[in-house]
Structure 1
């Protein structure tokens, strides 16, 4: 007998964003695995939903131990609903271990989609949304944070981070040190709540603004590294490699110059000079 295992997105601030499917799940589940059962009860009260399910606390510190039991309950015929404090379970919140255990046991997982702080902040940022990555919380220690930011220095996609309000200024300053103070960024706080705010600017400007203190739940969105325009010097090695594979130098230069928008004669002379140096 197989029950149901459901991941349900919860509002990130405004209870009015709760879906009809979330209400149905909370009122009809046999088991609700919540990151914080007190917050779950408060959400149910605000939604005017009666939760008769068994409530189980599932958080970062115990999810690994409880995942198999939740899956076993679904296998036995119970409807198990997994929720986080806000947004989609598994996205910087508990839920991943449960899905992992369900996959091992070949138990189907359904998702009730809904609010997402990551996507909401990305949409508000004014930064490119065609390609992005979610980096969660950066390390708290200065050295580890600096190393993490250095590793992301050449990331071309828009990056989304969560951060605690008391660390926002230091994090933005560290981003300015690692990537340059002129990198475009946005800071969103209290998304969907009464005092929602999004500030846009460079990481340097936002770091100065944050020095006065920032309150609320924070999402930082930062532009990826801008593509570097090709130069004659950067194309020489590619040209020589193609020539070594049998292509004519003039044909290679014509192709690369047209594609990259660099002067053909200048590139041809640079290739000839490099060939002479390497012979």
Structure 2
């Protein structure tokens, strides 16, 4: 990581897979990562898979074909992932090996004028590392009390328990399931059931 941050070229000795070579040279968090393989090429499966990635806390690794690279980068940027760091590894362990260290937004601009060629491995900064880098809290930093305060505010604006959980999840990175349970607790605290006679 320090080598990459200081502009020192990192070459990886060929190993069992391109994904590990790309991850090792990425300078991104290697402690926790998820390999997504190739994303579905189109339709509902692609949309659902991409939407699931928004809240992924770990470093993400994908393979992509040159003819689909631009679309994948644009689709990821459309999910508001543009400021996240992205390493594009091309032609690993070959004569034209290349690593590009950009943000997702920068990569979209770059490939508007450069024709994608070769085999690509994409390493995308996960939500936890991104939030740490820009000074936002991670899921583990939020107390139930603080989350309940945020949920109460959303509920007071007229959102239902599901809507409040969804909004607070987007704002904090905390899982919707946990937030929904906290919203239900808040709802029960507001209107406790009268004891049965």
TM-score band by shorter chain is 0.5 to 0.7
Displacement after TM superposition at 1:148 (Å)? 0.7
Structure 1 or 2, whichever has the larger Rg, is 1
Aligned to 2:84: 183
Aligned to 1:208: 109
- Please give the TM-score of this superposition, normalised by the length of structure 2: 0.59
Displacement after TM superposition at 1:167 (Å)? 1.0
Aligned to 1:140: 41
Q: How does 1:69-80 map to 2 (within 5 A)?
A: none
Displacement after TM superposition at 1:278 (Å)? 4.3
Checking the alignment, whether the CA contact within 8 Å between 2:54 and 2:81 is kept in structure 1 is: no
**Structure 1 alignment gaps of length 5 or more:** 1-15, 18-113, 238-272
- Please give the TM-score of this superposition, normalised by the length of structure 1: 0.43
Asked whether 1:230 is paired with 2:142, we answer yes
Q: How does 1:95-114 map to 2 (within 5 A)?
A: 114=15
Aligned to 1:121: 22
Higher helix share: 2
Q: RMSD of aligned C-alpha atoms?
A: 2.7
Residue aligned with 1:161, SS: strand
Measured against aligned partners, the alpha-carbon deviations of 1:184-232 in whole angstroms (never above 9, x if no partner) come to 2111001111111111122111121122321111001111112245275
Measured against aligned partners, the alpha-carbon deviations of 1:33-59 in whole angstroms (never above 9, x if no partner) come to xxxxxxxxxxxxxxxxxxxxxxxxxxx
Measured against aligned partners, the alpha-carbon deviations of 1:84-118 in whole angstroms (never above 9, x if no partner) come to xxxxxxxxxxxxxxxxxxxxxxxxxxxxxx43101
Checking the alignment, whether the CA contact within 8 Å between 1:169 and 1:208 is kept in structure 2 is: no
Residue aligned with 1:187, SS: strand
Checking the alignment, whether the CA contact within 8 Å between 1:189 and 1:216 is kept in structure 2 is: yes
Q: Distance in 2 between matches of 1:153 and 1:185?
A: 14
Displacement after TM superposition at 1:276 (Å)? 7.5
Which of the numbers 51, 64, 74 marks the counterpart of 1:163?
64
Displacement after TM superposition at 1:126 (Å)? 1.3
Aligned to 1:196: 97
